[in-house]
Amino acid sequence: MTKADLIDELAKVSNLTKKESETIVSTVFDNITDALAKGDKVELRGFGSFRIRQRNARKGRNPKTGTSVSVPEKRVPFFKVGKRLRELVNA
């Protein structure tokens, strides 16, 4: 499912225009992104939670040349699936 599919589905279910649905979906995504950028955790009960994980610096390898390269530490977004969603997927 793409963002456009999600907008279309929201418009059908809620009797909103596509423009209104796009605004809602964009607002939700923007707020999740902003919260993660600030380092906050976003929890959606029954669905899952988004948070930031710290990756330590490490030595990597350039697959083309085989030379060793230094990979700096970084923060990456992480999604942990909720219990209900995990059960639905595994059913």
In the chain, the DSSP E strands lie at 42-44, 48-55, 58-61, 68-71, 74-81
Residues 16 and 53 in one domain: no
Residues 26 and 61 in one domain: no
Token pair 């605004």 in the structure block, residue: 23
Residues 31 and 52 in one domain: no
Residues 87 and 59 in one domain: yes
pTM: 0.78
Give 24's pLDDT tier (boundaries 50, 70, 90).
very high
Q: How far apart are CA 9 and CA 37, in angstroms?
A: 28
| Side chain identity at residue 14, one-letter code | S
Q: How far apart are CA 41 and CA 52, in angstroms?
A: 7
- In which domain, by residue range, is 73 found? 43-91
- How far is C-alpha 66 from the geometric centre of its chain's CA atoms? 32
| 25-68 pLDDT, tens digit each | 999 999 999 999 999 999 999 899 999 999 999 999 999 999 99
Q: Residue 9 above 90 pLDDT? A: yes
